[in-house]
């Protein structure tokens, strides 16, 4: 175990180490979302809109139920977000080719512009952290983070070049 400075009381270190991890998550997430939240506020949107914009940008043609599975919120909540984003011209819908019940979602040009603006900042933050920490640390970061993520969503992170396939079946549609 990474042999830390003095003392070496493994029990204490373990407890302390785990607490530090909890705090790392809290602080990193807090700081990771700060700037995007400010940008979103100018449009009258919130963090939830960002998540929708992000995943629709990431997987153009994604369906509502796939989005629901990723976000793990209720369809009523998602519906509110989506209808705002459609109404204001950031997302457009079109019926699925095989299954015409589906609404396939994609960003409009305006939506792509906002997406870029939002993620630019986050990419910069991460790129800086990656650069500082070095390639080996990045690999470790990936491994630890993956271990905390629910099984069904891990496949997104297989080293690959194509688009993600959004995992297994649905899991809590309306509850």
Partner DNA sequence: GTTTTTACGTCAGCCATGTTGACTTTTATC
Partner DNA sequence: GATAAAAGTCAACATGGCTGACGTAAAAAC
| Residues of the shown chain interacting with DNA in the complex, contacts defined by CB under 7 A | 40, 44-49, 51, 63-66, 72-83, 93, 95-96, 98-103, 170, 173-175
Q: How far is the CB of 125 from DNA (least distance, A)?
A: 20
Choose the contact partner of 77 out of a second copy, DNA, none; CB within 5 to 8 A by kind. Answer: DNA
Q: How far is the CB of 58 from DNA (least distance, A)?
A: 16
Question: Which one of 4-12, 61-69, 90-98, 99-107 is the stretch in contact with a second copy (CB under 8 A)?
Answer: 4-12
Choose the contact partner of 101 out of a second copy, DNA, none; CB within 5 to 8 A by kind. Answer: DNA
- Give the integer Cα–Cα distance in Å for 62 and 55: 8
Full 3-state SS string of the chain: CCCCCCCCCHHHHHHHHHHHHHHHHHHHHHHHHHHHHHHHHHCCCCHHHHHHHHHHHHCCCECHHHHHHHHCCCHHHHHHHHHHHHHCCCEEEEECCCCCCCEEEEECHHHHHHHHHHHHHHHHHHHHHHHHHCHHHHHHHHHHHHHHCCHHHHHHHCCCCCCCCCCCCCCCCCC
Q: State which residue, 2 or 22, has the beta carbon closest to DNA.
A: 22
Choose the contact partner of 156 out of a second copy, DNA, none; CB within 5 to 8 A by kind. Answer: a second copy
The residue from 41, 113, 133, 168 that contacts a second copy (CB under 8 A) is 133
Q: How far is the CB of 63 from DNA (least distance, A)?
A: 3
């Amino acid at each position: 175990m990474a042999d830390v400075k003095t003392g070496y009381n493994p029990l204490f270190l373990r407890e302390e180490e785990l607490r530090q991890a909890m705090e790392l998550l809290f602080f990193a997430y807090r700081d990771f979302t700060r700037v995007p939240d400010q940008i979103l506020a100018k449009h009258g949107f919130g963090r939830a809109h960002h998540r929708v914009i992000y995943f629709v940008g990431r997987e153009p043609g994604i369906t509502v139920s796939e989005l629901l599975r990723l976000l793990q919120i209720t369809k009523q909540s998602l519906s509110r977000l989506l209808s705002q984003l459609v109404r204001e011209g950031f997302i457009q819908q079109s019926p699925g080719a095989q299954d015409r019940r589906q609404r396939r979602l994609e960003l409009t040009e305006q939506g792509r512009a906002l997406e870029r603006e939002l993620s630019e900042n986050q990419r910069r933050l991460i790129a800086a952290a990656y650069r500082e920490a070095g390639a080996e640390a990045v690999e470790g970061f990936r491994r630890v983070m993956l271990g905390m993520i629910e099984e069904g969503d891990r496949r997104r992170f297989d080293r690959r070049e194509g688009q993600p396939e959004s995992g297994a079946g649905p899991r809590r549609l309306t509850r």
